[in-house]
Amino acid sequence: MRTLFIGVMSGTSLDGVDAVLVDTAEGFHCLAHVAVPMPQSLRQDFLRLNQSGPHELHLAALSANSLVALYTQAVQSLLRSTQHKPEEIAAIGAHGQTVRHQPQMHDGVGYTLQLNNPALLAEQTGISVVADFRSRDVAAGGQGAPLVPAFHQAVFGHIEDTVAVLNIGGMSNISILQTDHVLGFDCGPGNVLMDLWCHQHLGQHYDHLGQWAASGKVSQALLTRFLLDPFFQAPPPKSTGRDLFHADWLQAHLSAVPELPAADVQATLAALTVQSCAQEVLRHAPTAKQLLVCGGGAYNLQLMSLLSQALPGVQVASTETQGLPPLQVEAAAFAWLARQTLLNLPGNLPAVTGASGPRVLGAIYPA
Ligand SMILES: Nc1ncnc2c1ncn2[C@@H]1O[C@H](COP(=O)(O)OP(=O)(O)OP(=O)(O)O)[C@@H](O)[C@H]1O
Ligand SMILES: [Mg+2]
């Protein structure tokens, strides 16, 4: 089998598309990375599609096509920079854009919805595409998320002792890698609420390096209120998304405390991200010596510094120290998952997602 794979990821932050070209011939090596920003109009459309609205099916289909135009641009840029031809690539693992995530409904199996048009991506790139990775796990009773722990185990599992890998993207999720088993689940809102607040008050998509959060003072009253949300106390398996952590969630909590300066709210949201992750490390990986951080949150110096403070005795470092830069990890995971699919191997870990068993994930759209 060919050993080159492409992974294409656009996460809940709606910041853009990260794509990597990897070689799996011996181990796992990232040959190239490209980031394509998401145009503002498409970001708005995806945000709108997180709730029901007029013409949503039409808008969803057209947004999926626009997303695939970005995916195609990313794939072509990777091929150009590495001088590879489409026929040399075994497959593209294309995650799609999550707009709804309700894996369990009170009356039975729910759904998770990633907008995508893998047929169009295969047509435009001439490369086979693997897509829709999450539905099969949900069909088997799982959360459909997180799917990255199996990949984290494959690339970081060689490290001695218990290692925790924390992805701080739109949401945050953790993988706890122990010699005999892997645990993984979503911890809560990673950057999504900080991004929202920052956009509302500074007009910027994110708080560069966490400087604004660092300028504010944490409100213990607000932080305590935030942490009372049952999601933070729930045991794994658990996963979440914008369905829970959205503007109204934040507003409801803010309305319940005396008005705070905007920078203090940002500081408290940063503290929420850190506390929600740190408390899970303390609960589930008390012996961890290392916390490897990936996702855009690894560039937020305030988050990194608060994590170190919250976890004395744990070395907090970017995944870059292990050779995989923070914004490449999720995309690399979907390249790895596409390979699993072509090899007819499971991509989920039932102990992580809660599925009734290991499953081969995704659907293949041949070139
Ligand atoms: N230099 C930086 N300083 C502070 N925050 C940053 C910086 N760079 C990125 N970020 C944060 O990271 C976010 C993007 O992270 P990432 O791409 O990992 O998330 P994502 O697309 O939601 O992925 P996923 O949902 O798959 O984890 C941005 O929205 C921003 O909040
Ligand atoms: Mg992103």
Shared domain check, 168 and 89:
no
The answer to whether the CB of 209 is under 6 A from ligand 1 is yes
Shared domain check, 240 and 203:
yes
The answer to whether the CB of 206 is under 6 A from ligand 1 is yes
The ligand minimizing its distance to the Cα of 193 is: 1
Shared domain check, 158 and 291:
yes
Shared domain check, 73 and 8:
yes
pLDDT in tens, 255-269: 999 999 999 999 999
Ligand 2 center from residue 164 Cα (angstroms): 21
Tell which one of 186, 299, 320 to mutate to probe ligand 1, the residue whose CB is within 8 A of the most ligand atoms: 299
Q: What's the domain range around 107?
A: 4-146+328-365
Residue with the smallest CA separation from ligand 1 atom 5 is 300
The answer to whether the CB of 169 is under 6 A from ligand 1 is yes
Shared domain check, 336 and 261:
no
Residue 160, pLDDT above cutoff 80: no
Shared domain check, 178 and 194:
yes
The answer to whether the CB of 216 is under 6 A from ligand 1 is no
Shared domain check, 185 and 98:
no
Structural domain count, the chain: 2
For 15, half-sphere exposure in the C-beta direction (CA atoms, 13 angstrom radius) is 21
Shared domain check, 236 and 95:
no
Residue 75 — very low, low, confident or very high, per pLDDT cuts 50/70/90?
A: very high
Shared domain check, 94 and 202:
no
In this prediction the pTM is 0.95
Tell which one of 206, 303, 319 to mutate to probe ligand 1, the residue whose CB is within 8 A of the most ligand atoms: 206
pLDDT of residue 105: 81
Shared domain check, 21 and 124:
yes
Shared domain check, 90 and 37:
yes
Supply the CATH number for residue 16's domain: 3.30.420.40
